Amino acid sequence: MTIFSFHLVKIPFALAIKGLFANPVKKNTKGLVHVEYMSAMTLGSPIISTSRFLITQVAIFAQWENEGALENYLKNDKFGNILNKGWHVRLVFMREWGKIKGFKIPKEKATLENESSAVVAVTIARMKPFAIPRFLKWGRPVEKLVRDHTGTLLSLASIKLPNTVSTFSIWKTEKEMTSMVHGHSNMPKPKRHSNAMKERDRKDFHFEFTTLRFKPISEFGEWKGQQNFIPTAQLNKFE
């Protein structure tokens, strides 16, 4: 059964610089379907700021043929050992909007136990270079909405130069996430996301874009001194 994983880890500066030019996760890794290697960003931070591009904080989103392939990589690969010292969550696929090359979207779709279960959302976009200023104008208010939302358990953005941007968020419930998407959440200026989507429909920011929704099945390690972002009772359950 194919699974996805999302990793956060802090790495040495020299390794981070090297990672800007060459992905340390080898494409021919046994059992790896596809991987996106990115540098973390703080959602909603000023464009020119030290928190906008956190070069030594790495975000990796990957798809594996099965959980055994991920386990083998973390235990036996040099960079996998580094990832194993950070935080990661393992995920099974639920829904997809849009398309992006590399990943093999499963036909099987997981379901949540109930409406109170946590859900994970990942977006990945390949930006049109000349659309980046307009994207930032519409995107930063959305980043702040997600960052400050009472329904999120963990949220961040990431980037791979020159033009790949991504967001990752864990939500307390699917309902809170979808309410935010459609502009119905109980937050100041709740329509920031829906307005940005209307602008995207008017004139797209990207030449490739996808939003993926997942059911979390297990969580490991800690990030910035925190662990167990997802309630333990909701993990290790397949459907």
Kindly state the average pLDDT of the residues 22-38: 95
Give which of 169, 168, 159, 170 is closest to 136, Cα–Cα: 159
Q: Is the whole-model pTM more than 0.85?
A: yes
Task: Give the whole-angstrom CA distance, residue 22 versus residue 69.
Answer: 22
DSSP string, 72-111: HHHHHSHHHHHHHTSEEEEEEEEEEEEE-SS----S----
Q: What is the mean pLDDT of residues 175-195?
A: 80
Residues 64-109 have pLDDT tens digits of 999 999 999 999 999 999 999 999 999 999 999 998 999 999 999 9
Segment among 99-103, 145-149, 225-229 with least mean pLDDT? 145-149
Domains in the chain, please, with CATH? 3-234 (3.30.70.100)
Q: pLDDT tens digits for 163-173?
A: 898 999 999 99
